[in-house]
Structure 1
């Protein structure tokens, strides 16, 4: 019942901000091009029996950006999405992403949006505090804002940006040595990104969103996915993640609109996916073509199920799903 009230409140909030609710297709020619993101594959069978590979979307992002390119200035979607190889207290193979986009507005606006949505969910659920695994946060307090560089220094005693060059290239050996000095396990075949992620998970994330929400911003550009570089420092990108009670709730970007750079990133990610998992996903050429016509914009993705969990005090994501998938 709380989930229903939260969803209704979200729809009302976006309507009040002049957003249009869209419904983009779940079947896509590409499910996304991030190395460690795993999709559910299927196929379309024509009347004559011809077969074409398709995927269930891992996000509605590609389709939404095509709508931005077509002239839609503000939109949101409560999208059913699917991700393989994900199962646990905070992960379910099928879940709901709230995605929203603002054309012509800076990504800092999405920081305010995220804080407003957190407070809205708590109010709809009748919660005065959020809780998860012994941590609590005030959903109505102004979030703290911390850069990745500040977080690595504060919680891991590491100089993150000393391992990132001006052109965004990374120094694996320097980061690995710094991590080892802090007692973090580093394997011989770990990449810079592997070490970065391990420090983030072990040292940083448990300290975020305590007492109040945390905006963790200015990710190294190599971890930017679909975000544009920050004008004042091209080593980092206009990307932030929004945390409460140590739980990542949202991932938001100042959107990249350079199709050549986006292609380069996609190809690098798929090369890494092929190296690690022995497979790669196709690139959506229509999406890259749309980027050339897309206006400057900001966009966010928020895990609705996790938001409901924190607002209701649930311990497992399956407690806030109507009909969870049985584990095989």
Structure 2
């Protein structure tokens, strides 16, 4: 154990230095650091996010189900509604059903929010922090599994429509109506032509994800970072529609060396629309996994008071992993969660 820790320690100390420099970066820009409670009424309402759950027992012995949050997002937006204009959180978050070189059941999410500012500002923020992590680590390039990228280069900006056309030959926007309704069958034709499997029970989201993972993501962040933006509105449950095209949302993801690092939104602030989207996501979750999570009513109430804002979640451990040349996320965690027996 001491020898193994000694081998890991240089990367862990580098992690601490990056953390300190990130905090200084946010402080210099008048952000307030907040701490979100891990236990929440709802862990999040996205269909394919799975939570860890527990029972709170009061003095009378009554039990209430609570969940470890999958993101501090709901808490951060409540604070935006309360009047905090710029905030960030380095939060421990928890996701079940996830473990691998890029996934861990407990990890650190860096989230930050800007009231009254567009999500393009977050694109610049994310690029600056990626460069700052590389500078702190003394890394001139990022590499992962034979893929290489320059963390100091200006990111390529690519829409989902452009990416699907370039890498799969699919005209994505013809599969989405002006009101955001998706045409699953039309997309299935394109997916089949691209040489990918289509099952009878595949939804539009299933097919979209299959193309993204198999044909698009392997090309992202090569040579320089990629900002993948303008997701179909159906694939952005917490983002507002883009003003130039209601078929797509103000959502982007940042990639380096094929690794997804961050997910950002121009935030949806319509509580009725957010409720509709959450219910649709939970219907899909129940169909696939046989379970659903409650909606946080306080969160929906806060949306009615929340100013226009943009927000982003960055996988801090993944960024540290790339900055120090590690091969697995566990290599940059101080105390990884032990593997459970099958």
TM-score category (smaller protein): over 0.9
Report the 3-state secondary structure (helix = DSSP H, G, I; strand = E; otherwise coil) of the residue aligned with 1:211. coil
Counterpart position of 1:153? 165
User: For the residues of structure 2 that align with 1:316 and 1:233, how far apart are their CA atoms?
Assistant: 39
Counterpart position of 1:299? 311
Counterpart position of 2:104? 92
- Alpha-carbon displacement from aligned partner over 1:28-54 (angstroms, at most 9, x marks no partner): 000000011000010111112111110
Match of 2:271 among 251, 259, 268: 259
Counterpart position of 1:47? 59
Counterpart position of 1:223? 235
Following superposition, the deviation at residue 181 of structure 1 comes to: 0.8
- Alpha-carbon displacement from aligned partner over 1:196-233 (angstroms, at most 9, x marks no partner): 00000000000000011000000000001200000110
Counterpart position of 1:24? 36
Following superposition, the deviation at residue 195 of structure 1 comes to: 0.3
Following superposition, the deviation at residue 115 of structure 1 comes to: 0.2
Unaligned runs of 5+ in 1: none
Match of 2:284 among 272, 294, 299: 272
Report the 3-state secondary structure (helix = DSSP H, G, I; strand = E; otherwise coil) of the residue aligned with 2:17. helix
Counterpart position of 1:169? 181
User: For the residues of structure 2 that align with 1:314 and 1:138, how far apart are their CA atoms?
Assistant: 16
Counterpart position of 1:129? 141
Following superposition, the deviation at residue 325 of structure 1 comes to: 1.1
Following superposition, the deviation at residue 267 of structure 1 comes to: 0.3
User: For the residues of structure 1 that align with 2:65 and 2:243, how far apart are their CA atoms?
Assistant: 39
TM-score, normalised to structure 2's length?
Answer: 0.95
Counterpart position of 1:142? 154
- Alpha-carbon displacement from aligned partner over 1:230-260 (angstroms, at most 9, x marks no partner): 0110000000000000000000000000000
Counterpart position of 1:58? 70
Following superposition, the deviation at residue 186 of structure 1 comes to: 1.1
Report the 3-state secondary structure (helix = DSSP H, G, I; strand = E; otherwise coil) of the residue aligned with 1:111. helix
- Alpha-carbon displacement from aligned partner over 1:51-84 (angstroms, at most 9, x marks no partner): 1110000000001000000000000000000000
Counterpart position of 1:191? 203
User: For the residues of structure 1 that align with 2:81 and 2:127, how far apart are their CA atoms?
Assistant: 27
**2:16 is aligned with 1:11:** no
User: For the residues of structure 1 that align with 2:53 and 2:314, how far apart are their CA atoms?
Assistant: 24
User: For the residues of structure 2 that align with 1:315 and 1:187, how far apart are their CA atoms?
Assistant: 34
User: For the residues of structure 1 that align with 2:333 and 2:197, how far apart are their CA atoms?
Assistant: 36
User: For the residues of structure 2 that align with 1:211 and 1:20, how far apart are their CA atoms?
Assistant: 34
User: For the residues of structure 2 that align with 1:227 and 1:286, how far apart are their CA atoms?
Assistant: 19
User: For the residues of structure 2 that align with 1:137 and 1:130, how far apart are their CA atoms?
Assistant: 5
**2:247 is aligned with 1:250:** no
Following superposition, the deviation at residue 323 of structure 1 comes to: 1.0
TM-score, normalised to structure 1's length?
Answer: 0.99
User: For the residues of structure 1 that align with 2:36 and 2:323, how far apart are their CA atoms?
Assistant: 27
**Structure 1 outlier segments of 4+, above 6 Å:** none
User: For the residues of structure 2 that align with 1:214 and 1:168, how far apart are their CA atoms?
Assistant: 25
